[in-house]
Structure 1
């Protein structure tokens, strides 16, 4: 089954900050009775000019079911932070949150709807469905009750629930998030080339107490990755002595992405796929055996 790699927030400090912040702000708002004040409305924009509400509304969900589903999706999408790195993922988070909020404001002005939009990181969550749909391959399919499903179906189902949880209140933020994700995908304004300066990234890392752990994890991960590659060579030579006599095909990026999404090092994944002749299942077994060595 498809999963987000190793459990926990290993190599995903931005995701960890988002999950903790969203949970704390949601619970705090609920205890103070401010949940009903969250979310943007047409009156906030045109009459009250309460655009400050966008700040807590970006993080805090307005109900417990939305919080549970939303945190599950944010936690799952940590695979993208592991793939592109925390710096670029921070740019993606900031871009999707700001752009989706601007689209929400434009939608409220256009529709002149008096309802309050659902609050929470809808922009980030639904923007993440764009790379999830395009970049994460299906690795298995199955049938249940006569219907066809894949290992990605659970994530789509959770997103569908969140999108329609409050009907128009949640549908509009969800669609705005999808548009923001599409704009990031096509590199609108050259956003995908941007990175936070190293000084700012380092300061933010220290702020959330992740710099020391991430650096130590990174160095240890590199050591483990090199050791795994060496072990993979030894494993294949021992169990598949004829493999060295056969030209090894270059593995497709989709297969590498599949193994990386499971939490494996990209170099080790590439090496395992080459040794397994691009058989993802065999490569997974090789990597797992190297991991438990």
Structure 2
């Protein structure tokens, strides 16, 4: 599976998360300060340290967690490209908030009154990361299969292995946030109360572009990243001329594959029509149009 064009093209919210979590983890987490920001029943409930709700989801506590965690956040930028930055920003808010609430509930259940410090949970954006595994499992198709030492793998297997490494990095302390993130992802997937249609105002999503573009170059522009549309729509319309033979029955699998790579659905349809439903040729046409 391909996560789409390299870099943070059409993914300003993901860019902000990667930079913020990366810098905070390097400055605080890997220096031993993450423990002071983690959630625990004694510190949160008994000492009323509510500020932990805001700090805990954004700092990894160790170098391996930083590497695997930021890789997964970066890889899942494909979902921001699919639904647009406005909806993705709300998805980040919903998955993080819901996961944090579930973590607090879990701490209340598994608390140990006899312990001096109590059980604490590993900090980091576990809610966002593991919530993203839900659409990754249900919505992203397998494009490549391989066999190694008698075992069968797909191109998605390596993403699952990275998630498993992160999930078990601190045993129970990381397992609980990971499971809470999966539950948050399932709630969003269920579309309860039409939650998947909710999006933040354009100003909030576009703020990520204005804030982080000077720190890390990107080809994305404000209007296209906010709408989640392909930046070269007009060029595509010109390149894929109407005279191209129409495809009698578009393959939904091919369309989903191209959208997973970050392309707009209408552009994917035009490219497949021009390529006579050849997904490889359609991908080349779309990539070439972006380079013009």
TM-score range, shorter chain: 0.7 to 0.9
Shift of 1:205: 4.9
1:189 paired residue number? 193
Inter-CA distance 209–141: structure 2 relative to 1 (3 Å threshold): closer
Larger RCO, structure (CA 8 Å, separation 6 or more): 2
Aligned counterparts of 1:33 and 1:183: Cα–Cα separation in 2? 34
Shift of 1:142: 0.8
1:51-200 equivalence runs, <5 A: 51-113=50-112, 114-200=118-204
RMSD: 2.8
Higher helix share: 1
Deviation by residue 1:110-162 (Cα, 9 ceiling, x = unmatched): 11153211110000000001111111100111101111011111111100111
Cα contact 1:232–1:290 (8 A) shared by 2: no
Deviates more, 1:64-73 or 1:254-263: 254-263
Shift of 1:191: 1.8
Deviates more, 1:250-259 or 1:133-142: 250-259
Inter-CA distance 196–264: structure 2 relative to 1 (3 Å threshold): closer
The counterpart of 2:238, out of the listed 221, 226, 230, is: 230
Cα contact 1:232–1:287 (8 A) shared by 2: no
Q: TM-score, normalised by structure 2?
A: 0.86
Cα contact 1:80–1:89 (8 A) shared by 2: yes
Deviation by residue 1:2-25 (Cα, 9 ceiling, x = unmatched): 222111111111000000000111
Aligned counterparts of 1:161 and 1:96: Cα–Cα separation in 2? 21
Q: TM-score, normalised by structure 1?
A: 0.86
Aligned length: 282
Q: Which blocks of at least 5 consecutive residues in structure 2 are unaligned?
A: 113-117
Q: Which blocks of at least 5 consecutive residues in structure 1 are unaligned?
A: 238-243
Deviates more, 1:31-40 or 1:168-177: 31-40
Cα contact 1:62–1:118 (8 A) shared by 2: yes
